[in-house]
Structure 1
Amino acid sequence: MTTRRDLAGLIGVGAAAAGALTLASSGVKAQAAGQNTFDRIIANKKMRLGAVTSSAPWFVKDAATGKWGGHFYTIGSALAKDMDVELELVETTWGNAVLDLQSDKIDIMFGLNPTPKRAMAVDFSNPAYDSALVVIGKPGFEPKSWADMNKPEVKISVDLGSAHDQIATLLCPKAQITRFKTINEAMLALKTGRVDAQCIFWMGGVRAVKADPSLGKVIVPQPFFGSTSNAAVRREADKTWLFFVNTWIGYARGLGLVRSAVVESLEQVGVKPEDIPAGITL
């Protein structure tokens, strides 16, 4: 199994990337005002990555040691290593990440699904990997379709401002949708019987039910709703940063590094490839 340390070491700056970074470094004496994100990262030797605590397998922070994990931490670390810059983790939430990009608190946020609303505010990279939306239905509640949940008597929990929130609102406008600050709070509402289902992407749903089967069952409602997991960057006239991120993602996916990071993070929370619901692929 490829470890996080292995992943960081596997990714080396190729000749073309090294040449691009050399050229960028030589012209990095521009003033801070108006400087594009890519040049500023190279000049400051620091890349600010948005990170969400208690959000395994995507991100997780050990409360005792302060150490981060999760596959977007691993992927972000590899990106920073290839750029020969320091990785700085800036805590955010899925709902606040777009605002943090716009206000220049972070340089990049992995794990955002490109919705039209978000795309009006920030730029999205090429997909890091494919994803799919599911629900965790409480014991005895097993809807087969989104239409089965689009009823006034059905209660659904989501984390505020997330893709889960936006998609559930779109597909189930007649349902009672309760919005919480975090995924964990939305999950607690399910566990305590305040809602019938939680809308969530499959990785979080499978991981949660593996850890606590009393939550209910992971269901892939039909029609199948597929999405992608992308990185988001601040919108600016100079697209150098976006172009570099796209190039790097293609490189990392081609070498299997993104998939290895995802598989490792899932194994760390007890999810094996055979646990993946039918119809969903990495």
Structure 2
Amino acid sequence: MKRREFTRLLAAGTVAAAVGTSMTRPLFAASSLERIKASGTLRIGGVADGAPYYQKSLTDGSWRGFYIDICQKLADDLGVKLSILETTWGNSVLDLQADKIDVFFGLNPTPERKKVIDFSGPVFKNAFTMIVRKGVGGTAWDDFNKPDMRIAVDAGSSHDAAISRHAPLAEVARLKTASDATAALQSRRADAQCLVMVLALSLRAKNPSIGELVMPTPADFTTSNAGFRREEDQSWREYADQWITGQRESGFVKEAIIRNMGLVGVKESDFPPGFDI
């Protein structure tokens, strides 16, 4: 989408806000699209330990990751600066609702999340997997749905929701971050950790001895989407959704993912056969 389309949508959003009545008024005084244009800044959330989605340098505080690259291009196409707020997967929805950020890339549109925020269409495809401590075994979700199975997840994430669906009988440790869940697995306080495919491949490339990567059957495919604060004026979500579709179709999204996966030691050939990003 061109910047003139951004300007057209901004004008439409301004008119929509102006004609709002006391019965139907925006949830915030100005729409996100108006705020982005007026401030010259696109505010996103980033997860410090979320490589290859997001990664914050411990030495200089700089960010990298495929969602950083994607969001930087979005900001460039809008003609604004990019501002990154450090958050977690679990807190990102709260940050959207509190108007701390304009968009968060990397959310699965679960039914609970759909009740409180809006979503774009898919940015890319993913699947839920398990990193399983050696000797534990398991190939199907039923193998993990047992009272003596200890599973670690990051609280409030799509991993948490997946385990709640597939392994309600398991003993689940809901920890603050995915790194905390990995630490539980490494210290043998957990038998397995639930992660989406992209994160699991990255973790295994970084630490091959962490455990085996299993995509339990039946496969639970998912998508990674962008989340938006719920507003009556939908011009910002509509603009971003069209922009995402264009970047998927052009191949930019896949190129950004493969390039950043390579930075953490994962090749395109490491994805399971038939798995299409």
Q: Provide the C-alpha distance between the structure 2 equivalents of 1:111 and 1:134, rounded to a whole number of angstroms.
A: 16
Pairing 1:117-156 to 2, within 5 Å after superposition: 117-156=112-151
- Alignment check: 8 A CA contact 1:142 1:219 kept: no
Q: Which residue identity lines up with residue 243 of structure 2 in the other structure?
A: W
Q: What's the secondary structure of 2:202's corresponding residue? A: helix
Corresponding position: 1:44 with 2:44:
no
| C-alpha displacement of 1:19 | 2.0
Corresponding position: 1:102 with 2:102:
no
Corresponding position: 1:267 with 2:262:
yes
- Alignment check: 8 A CA contact 1:149 1:175 kept: yes
Residue equivalent to 2:23:
none
Residue equivalent to 1:256:
251
Q: Which residue identity lines up with residue 161 of structure 1 in the other structure?
A: G
Corresponding position: 1:20 with 2:5:
yes
String of CA shifts for 1:99-129, please: whole Å, max 9, x gaps. 1100101100000011000010100101001
RMSD (CA atoms): 1.8
Residue equivalent to 1:79:
74
Q: Which residue identity lines up with residue 171 of structure 1 in the other structure?
A: H
Residue equivalent to 1:192:
187
- Alignment check: 8 A CA contact 1:125 1:246 kept: yes
* Structure 1 pair 46–148 and aligned structure 2 pair: CA distance change class (3 A): same
Residue equivalent to 1:238:
233
Residue equivalent to 1:179:
174
Residue equivalent to 1:34:
29
Taking structure 1 as the reference length, the TM-score comes to 0.91
Which of residues 213, 216, 219 in structure 2 aligns to 1:224?
219
- Alignment check: 8 A CA contact 1:191 1:214 kept: no
Q: Provide the C-alpha distance between the structure 2 equivalents of 1:109 and 1:277, rounded to a whole number of angstroms.
A: 27
Number of residue pairs the alignment of both structures matches: 267
- Structure 2's unaligned 5+ residue stretches are 19-25
* Structure 1 pair 225–49 and aligned structure 2 pair: CA distance change class (3 A): same
- Alignment check: 8 A CA contact 2:67 2:105 kept: yes
Residue equivalent to 2:209:
214
Q: Which residue identity lines up with residue 202 of structure 1 in the other structure?
A: M
Q: What's the secondary structure of 2:120's corresponding residue? A: strand
Q: Which residue identity lines up with residue 214 of structure 2 in the other structure?
A: I
Residue equivalent to 2:22:
none
Q: Provide the C-alpha distance between the structure 2 equivalents of 1:281 and 1:189, rounded to a whole number of angstroms.
A: 31
Q: Provide the C-alpha distance between the structure 1 equivalents of 2:77 and 2:231, rounded to a whole number of angstroms.
A: 23
- Alignment check: 8 A CA contact 2:130 2:193 kept: yes
Q: Which residue identity lines up with residue 147 of structure 1 in the other structure?
A: D
Q: Which residue identity lines up with residue 96 of structure 1 in the other structure?
A: N
String of CA shifts for 1:141-184, please: whole Å, max 9, x gaps. 22110001100000000001000001101110000000110111
Q: Which residue identity lines up with residue 238 of structure 1 in the other structure?
A: D
- Alignment check: 8 A CA contact 2:44 2:82 kept: yes
Q: Provide the C-alpha distance between the structure 2 equivalents of 1:97 and 1:231, rounded to a whole number of angstroms.
A: 11
Taking structure 2 as the reference length, the TM-score comes to 0.92
Q: Which residue identity lines up with residue 237 of structure 1 in the other structure?
A: E
- Alignment check: 8 A CA contact 2:9 2:239 kept: no
